[in-house]
């Protein structure tokens, strides 16, 4: 009888506790799901007040929703040169990516974009392995800083180095996949009178010629993998003994790059813009046979050069431009030298709309006060 009463007491106590907890949870809702209530509770005095840039140099369009279409023609090359100096072991991976079409949305400080490959284009190499390309970008643009996350995936490469003594002109590697995750930030000390990215963003534009120093920092994770050894059997003898088992190369790059940029503006609407960033990066890498292998990594220094050049037109509503981006990385790894070149020629057409009320509401309720 005592045991029965004890069990009844425990059941009643548990029921009361659960009811009280549900009632308390209803009264104290999860503020993390409601940004406005979160800031009001944990940061009641948060106020973000920024000095506006000189409107005679930089013109802002914060209340417009900007949309643009980009037509891109990229060039990708990844070379592996053995340290033995024998040209017969050189690997030169290429893609047959032709033209890429992308779309970008921008409102106030946030922009997002994606791109995919078109089925036809002037630079298609039918003799090469078919390549697939995916990319996505999210970017935060403040008046002095930019923060960007970018994902790039390419599948299907071709070793374009021919064999003089064989009938094969190319080595097709449709199984090879390259992935890269980029986290980078740029700082412009002269943001009050100069916008280094005015030619590349749709929320502001440079209205007078100016130039200045720039600084870039970033972390880049990359991986190249294949179903078999990354180097063809006929070239393996020029590389270290462990290379027959290397199917994956992973790398982490840390970059601190000083730079410079300038805009030349004509009649307040036509412009030419350029920026360069040379650097020596800290480069961590490892060779793997399987993705779950536990091996010691290596580290070295990598030389990198990044630059962009653009010309175009910008008005209050319409903007268009032609731009060229170039990046080269050269690093001495265990057994070979790696050279990576990425170039991109792009054409952009965009228009600024009055932002709909729903966009303004979502932005206001999501971003911190003052943003």
Task: Please state the three-class secondary structure of the chain as a single string.
Answer: CHHHHHHHHHHHHHHHHHHHHHHHHHHCCCHHHCHHHHHHHHCCCCCCCCCCCCCCCEEECCCEEEEEEEEEEEEEEEEEEECCCCHHHCEEEECCCCCEEEEEEEECCEEEEEEEECCCCCCCCCCCCCCEEEEEEEEEECCCEEEEEEEEEEEEEEECCCCCCCCCCCEEEEEEEEEEEEEEEEECCCCCCCCCCCCCCCCEEECCCEEEEEEEEEEEEEEEECCCCCCCHHHHHHCCCCHHHCCEEEEEEEEEEEEEEEEEEECCCEEEEEEEEEEEEEEEEEEECCCCCCCCCEEEEEEEEEEEEEEEEECCCEEEEEEEEEEEEEEEECCEEEEEEEEEEEEEEEEEEECCHHHHHHHHHHCCCCC
Residue 371 included in any domain: no
For the domain that residue 244 is a member of, what is the CATH number?
A: 2.40.128.100
24 versus 135: which is more confidently predicted? Answer: 135
The single residue listed with the structure tokens 């209803």 is 26
Res. 285 pLDDT band, cuts 50 70 90: very high
pTM for the full predicted model:
0.80
91/232 same-domain check: yes
Q: What is the mean pLDDT of residues 250-268?
A: 93
Residue 45 included in any domain: no
Count how many domains the chain has. Answer: 2
Residue 144 included in any domain: yes
Residue 170 included in any domain: yes
Reference 369, options 31, 40, 144, 32; nearest CA is: 40
Angstrom distance (rounded) from CA 186 to CA 144: 8
* First-last CA distance in the chain: 66
205-254 pLDDT tens trace = 888 999 999 999 999 999 999 988 888 887 888 887 767 678 899 999 99
197/266 same-domain check: yes
Q: What is the pLDDT of residue 51?
A: 74
Q: What is the pLDDT of residue 182?
A: 95
Residue 42 included in any domain: no
> What is the token pair recorded at 154?
């390419």
Cβ atoms of 209 and 59 within 8 Å: the answer is no
28/68 same-domain check: no
Least confident of 16-20, 46-50, 135-139, 211-215: 16-20
Q: Which sign does the torsion angle of CA 361, 365, 366, 371 carry?
A: positive
Angstrom distance (rounded) from CA 99 to CA 48: 42
Residue 38 included in any domain: no
236/276 same-domain check: yes
25/115 same-domain check: no
Res. 371 pLDDT band, cuts 50 70 90: low
48-63 pLDDT tens trace = 666 788 888 988 888 8
Residue 40 included in any domain: no
Q: What is the pLDDT of residue 189?
A: 92
Q: What is the mean pLDDT of residues 57-84?
A: 86
71/13 same-domain check: no
Q: Which domain holds residue 9?
A: 2-33
Angstrom distance (rounded) from CA 258 to CA 278: 7
Reference 202, options 111, 131, 123, 133; nearest CA is: 111
347/259 same-domain check: yes
Res. 163 pLDDT band, cuts 50 70 90: low
Facing residues of 129 across strands? Answer: none
235/165 same-domain check: yes
pLDDT at residue 184 is higher than 70: yes
Residue 309 included in any domain: yes
Q: What is the mean pLDDT of residues 129-155?
A: 87
118/12 same-domain check: no
Cβ atoms of 286 and 295 within 8 Å: the answer is yes
The single residue listed with the structure tokens 């007491």 is 9
174/283 same-domain check: yes
297-345 pLDDT tens trace = 889 999 999 999 999 998 888 999 898 999 999 999 888 889 999 888 8
203 versus 74: which is more confidently predicted? Answer: 74
Q: Which sign does the torsion angle of CA 293, 300, 222, 224 carry?
A: negative
Facing residues of 100 across strands? Answer: 72, 117
173/303 same-domain check: yes
- Angle, to 10 degrees, between the axis of helix 35-42 and the axis of helix 357-366? 30
Reference 222, options 72, 75, 76, 70; nearest CA is: 76
25/90 same-domain check: no
Phi, psi for 337 (deg, rounded to 5): -105, 135
């Amino acid at each position: 009888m005592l045991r029965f009463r004890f069990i009844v007491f425990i059941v009643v106590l548990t029921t009361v506790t659960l009811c009280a907890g549900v009632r308390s949870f209803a009264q104290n809702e999860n503020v993390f799901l409601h940004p406005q209530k979160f800031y009001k509770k944990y940061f009641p005095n948060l106020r973000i007040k920024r000095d506006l840039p000189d409107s005679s140099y930089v013109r802002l369009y914060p209340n417009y929703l900007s949309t643009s279409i980009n037509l891109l023609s990229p060039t990708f090359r990844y070379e592996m040169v053995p340290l033995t100096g024998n040209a017969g072991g050189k690997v030169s991976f290429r893609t047959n990516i032709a033209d890429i079409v992308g779309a970008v949305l921008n409102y106030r400080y946030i922009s997002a974009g994606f791109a995919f490959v078109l089925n036809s284009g002037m630079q298609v190499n039918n003799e090469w392995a078919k390549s697939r390309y995916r990319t996505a970008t999210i970017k935060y643009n403040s008046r002095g800083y930019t923060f960007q996350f970018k994902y790039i995936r390419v599948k299907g490469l071709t070793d374009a180095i021919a064999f003089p003594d064989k009938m094969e002109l190319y080595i097709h590697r449709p199984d090879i996949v390259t992935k890269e995750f980029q986290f980078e930030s740029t700082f412009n000390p002269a943001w009050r009178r100069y916008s280094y990215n005015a030619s590349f963003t749709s929320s502001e534009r440079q209205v007078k010629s100016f130039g200045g120093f720039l600084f870039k920092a970033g972390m880049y994770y990359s991986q190249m993998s294949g179903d078999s050894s990354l180097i063809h059997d006929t070239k393996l003898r020029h590389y270290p003994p462990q290379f027959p088992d290397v199917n994956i190369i992973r790398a982490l790059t840390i970059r601190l790059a000083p730079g410079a940029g300038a805009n030349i503006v004509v009649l307040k609407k036509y412009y030419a813009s350029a920026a360069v960033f040379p650097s020596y990066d800290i480069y961590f890498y490892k060779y793997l046979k399987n993705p779950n292998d536990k091996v010691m990594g290596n580290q070295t220094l990598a030389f990198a050069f990044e630059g962009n050049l653009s010309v175009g037109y910008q008005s209050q509503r319409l903007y268009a431009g032609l731009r060229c981006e170039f990046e080269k990385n050269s690093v001495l790894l265990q057994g070979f030298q790696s050279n990576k070149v990425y170039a991109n020629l792009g054409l952009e057409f965009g228009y600024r709309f009055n932002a709909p009320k729903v966009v303004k509401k979502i932005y206001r309720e999501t971003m911190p006060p003052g943003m």
